Amino acid sequence: MLRPAAAVAGPPAPLPQVAVPPPLVTPIVQPQFQPPLLPLNSPAGASPSLRSLFPDIEPACITAVITHDLKASDLYKLDTRVKDSEPTYSLSATGTFEMNNSKHKTYKNFNSVAFPLHAYFAILTAHLPDRSAATIYFYRYLTHIATLATEYEWPAVFEYHTLFFNRRRNDMLAGEYDGWGSSDIGLLSSHVYPHRKAISITPAKAASKRPATAVGTEPCRNYNLGKCTSPCSYGRPHVCSAPACGKEHPLTQHPK
């Protein structure tokens, strides 16, 4: 008798191994250093070639000029005539000694500003070789400020110069130099025009120290030379011009 064939059962086939992906890790990116932005149209510092043109001026001052950081009140730092002068020291209220450079910062007249201002413009001109128009504007301002100094009181002109100078610094940061070539009517009206110099009148000197002789009383010279007929055409008396004479005869007939 045949028995039904039994189903052959065995262990299940193993499942294929699937590689598990590693967890996604976002890489941490380190921020890169960003250097600070420099002012427009301003270099990081004075180049060696520029410093060599002005060896008597401190490199930091040259850099302050070309970066437009030098204020009008600091122009004295470009004056090579006084940079080697010894500063004075004074005792402060706290009992410490303080350096005093006030004599360098005192702009007593036009020349005290003109000298360092020429150096200031010379540095800018050397730094801007391709800006020939800027040089023209610089010299227009020098002429402008010199003219004001001859006609108006210097303290008023210096106040105008200080305000005008610092305004141009802001313009130059944007690469604009034409402002040096024009006057500021608003500043002139409020600071300069009310302070015109007083006109000094010098009394006329006497032409001669000899007392003037009245025309009608001085003997006629031509008559005494025999060249004038009576009556005298000049209104002078026809009398002898000999001392203490005064008689009615010419000098040629005066008794010897």
Predicted pLDDT of residue 70: 96
Predicted pLDDT of residue 2: 54
Give me Rg for the CA atoms of the chain: 47
Distances (CA, A) of 62 to 49, 57, 178, 183: 12, 7, 21, 26
In a domain, 21, yes or no: no
Predicted pLDDT of residue 207: 52
In a domain, 13, yes or no: no
Tokens of 180: 């040096």
Where would I find the H helices in the chain?
A: 48-53, 59-66, 102-105, 110-127, 132-151, 154-173, 185-187, 221-224
Predicted pLDDT of residue 178: 95
Judge whether 97 and 58 are in contact, CB under 8 Å: no
Q: Residue 194's beta-bridge partner residues?
A: none
Q: 């800027």: which residue's tokens?
A: 134
pTM above 0.85, yes or no: no
Measuring CA to CA, which residue among 126, 125, 135, 131 is closest to residue 50? 126
Do 241 and 143 belong together in one domain?
no
**pLDDT tens-digit readout, 88-130:** 555 566 666 555 554 446 789 999 999 999 999 999 999 987 7
Do 171 and 104 belong together in one domain?
yes
Do 162 and 252 belong together in one domain?
no
**pLDDT tens-digit readout, 28-47:** 655 554 443 334 444 457 88
- What is the span of the domain harbouring residue 249? 216-256
Tokens of 80: 């090579």
Number of separate domains in the chain? 2
Judge whether 236 and 216 are in contact, CB under 8 Å: yes
Q: How many CB atoms lie within 10 A of CB 136?
A: 13
Do 171 and 114 belong together in one domain?
yes
Predicted pLDDT of residue 40: 40
Predicted pLDDT of residue 36: 39
Which ranges of the chain have pLDDT less than 70? 1-44, 83-105, 202-216
- Give the burial class of 174: count Cβ atoms within 10 A of its Cβ; 0-12 exposed, 13-18 middle, 19 or more buried: exposed
Do 67 and 110 belong together in one domain?
yes
